[in-house]
Amino acid sequence: MLGRHLLYYLPVNAAQAVVGFGSIYVLTRLLSPHDYGLYALALAATHFAHVPVFTWLESAAARFHARAQRRGRLADHFATLFAVWAVAAAGFTLVLALALWLLPLPAEIRTLSGFVGAALIARAAMKLFQESRRAAQDAARYGVLETIYILAGFGIGIGFVLGTPLRAAGPFAGLLVAALVCVLVEAPVMLRRARGGRAQTLRAVSYARYGAPLSLSLVMSLIVSVSDRFMIAGFLGEAAAGVYAAGYALADRTLDILFVWVGMAAAPLAVSLFEREGGESARRALKTQAETMVLISMPAAVGLALVAGPLAAVMTGEAFRDQAAHLIPWVAAAGLLGGFTTYYLDQSFELTRKTHLIPLVLAAPAAANIVLNLALIPVWGVTGAVVATVCAYAAGAITTFIVGSRLFALPLPVGAIVRTAAACAVMAVAVLALPYFGSAWVALLIHAGAGAIAFAAAALLLDAGPSRAFALEALRRVRRLTPPIVEPAR
């Protein structure tokens, strides 16, 4: 079942990969380090604003859909979600308007903040619809709309950068237009599902009790993952923050796409099994999820570190390349730890609805990250920031696993980790044995291709994770699509 859902969500993640890499490739060439720094800081600020205001509601939409459906209360569920969203959106708009009116901000920052806020509100409405689709396991509709939003937002945003004086605000203007189109398409369908339902205060409070701790935990995660941009800007300037953000995004975005891909396919299945059949059925699905995450993410992280030089040369503008190549191996390690914590280990808290414990678990790593950044950035520059991030993610993974195991023991796929690590070692030997020649593009393609082939062969030989099962499933699907050979009549 997981394999089928992974295929449903593949177009979305392919689009995420295209846009994730494309935005770095294009924007680091169209924007100066200063403008890219403003863009990166605005993007980080968007996450910090979206998570506490809207993410808790999106989490509740996903978690309580199956329960509301089982009890025949979906109309009340949707009516409550939409009413609470409207209040949150109105409050956020009022606060943003007052801030832009009262604070003595430069015109450039006012314009940027306006587009960021509008894009955030439109995206929040779309996310609420999309999380409801995902909870209902309507993967096809989710995939189509999300893919349209990602690709259209990117294309329109680049058009704004090229054709208007918006500069750093251009990508957010594109996302605003794309989100509004998707909301207009989905709103009539979703609002019909709330027809006849009542927005209920007790239901909203229940959703807040579940979702608010998740939002707070994500704020803690953001402190670990993106707060360093603000401290780099404070110590070293916006241009340094832009250079750092480009290198960081190159590795982190790759791993995040992979973790989100597996997570968005697996999490609804685990929740549904937990609600319908209990913990043991959910554990079996979670074991497959963990093995799949290891099989996909570990070679990606090792591969990024192995091809850091040519990857940075190909994907970033000249002013960004050296620093990006230096940062990629560190960010790959941080992304591996952070992704596995967020998209797997946190499920101990989510399934048992003990999400109020997650912020407590992450508080110490988040505080340590701030202290380490303040201590290391003045001494080591951007290297100090990424070292602090790796240390914080490692501490967060360890504490999350220890505390979460007491609530709901998740399967830890030790065997899959060992076999996948061995296949990664084979990949590393294959890549490091090849000489560098030709352009950066040639070197990247040859080394990445050789590494992928070496890893795939070693993984199948060692049966790392569900590699053989996925290979057999792929062969079966190819055979179904291939028409049988009919012998001509004699």
pLDDT in tens, 304-339: 999 999 999 999 988 898 999 999 999 999 999 999
**Which residue from 242, 401, 391, 241 is spatially nearest to 330, judged by alpha carbons?**
391
Question: How large is the average pLDDT for residues 394-403?
Answer: 92
Rounded to whole angstroms, what are the CA distances from 473 to 139, 466, 467? 19, 11, 10
Question: How large is the average pLDDT for residues 450-473?
Answer: 86
Query: Is it the case that residue 487 has pLDDT exceeding 90?
Result: no
Residue 483 burial (10 A CB sphere; 0-12, 13-18, 19+) = exposed
Question: How large is the average pLDDT for residues 92-97?
Answer: 96
Are 5 and 269 in contact by the 8 Å Cβ rule? The answer is yes
Any alpha helices (H) in 342-439, and if so which ranges? 347-351, 357-380, 382-405, 414-432
Tokens of 366: 């988040």
Question: How large is the average pLDDT for residues 185-208?
Answer: 92
Rounded to whole angstroms, what are the CA distances from 460 to 286, 291, 348, 469, 479? 22, 14, 30, 10, 20
Query: Is it the case that residue 218 has pLDDT exceeding 70?
Result: yes
Are 412 and 289 in contact by the 8 Å Cβ rule? The answer is no
pLDDT in tens, 139-177: 778 888 989 999 999 999 999 999 999 999 999 999 999
- The pLDDT, as a whole number, for residue 282 is 82
pLDDT in tens, 336-365: 999 999 888 988 888 888 878 888 888 888
Q: How far apart are CA 123 and CA 215, in angstroms?
A: 17
| CA-CA-CA-CA torsion sign (336, 339, 343, 348) | positive
- The pLDDT, as a whole number, for residue 436 is 82
Kindly report the average pLDDT of the chain as a whole number: 88
| φ, ψ at 463 (rounded to 5°) | 55, 55
By 3-state DSSP, what share of the chain in percent is helix, strand and coil, each rounded to 5?
85, 0, 15
Count of C-beta atoms within a 10 Å radius of residue 137: 17
Q: How far apart are CA 230 and CA 179, in angstroms?
A: 27
- The pLDDT, as a whole number, for residue 4 is 57
pLDDT in tens, 5-24: 556 666 777 888 888 888 99
Q: How far apart are CA 367 and CA 480, in angstroms?
A: 54
Confidence of residue 271 (pLDDT cuts 50, 70, 90): confident
HEC string of 309-325 equals HHHHHHHCCCCCHHHHH
Any alpha helices (H) in 136-278, and if so which ranges? 139-163, 170-193, 201-225, 227-236, 238-276
pLDDT in tens, 219-248: 888 888 889 999 999 999 989 999 999 989
Query: Is it the case that residue 134 has pLDDT exceeding 70?
Result: yes
Largest CA distance in the chain: 89
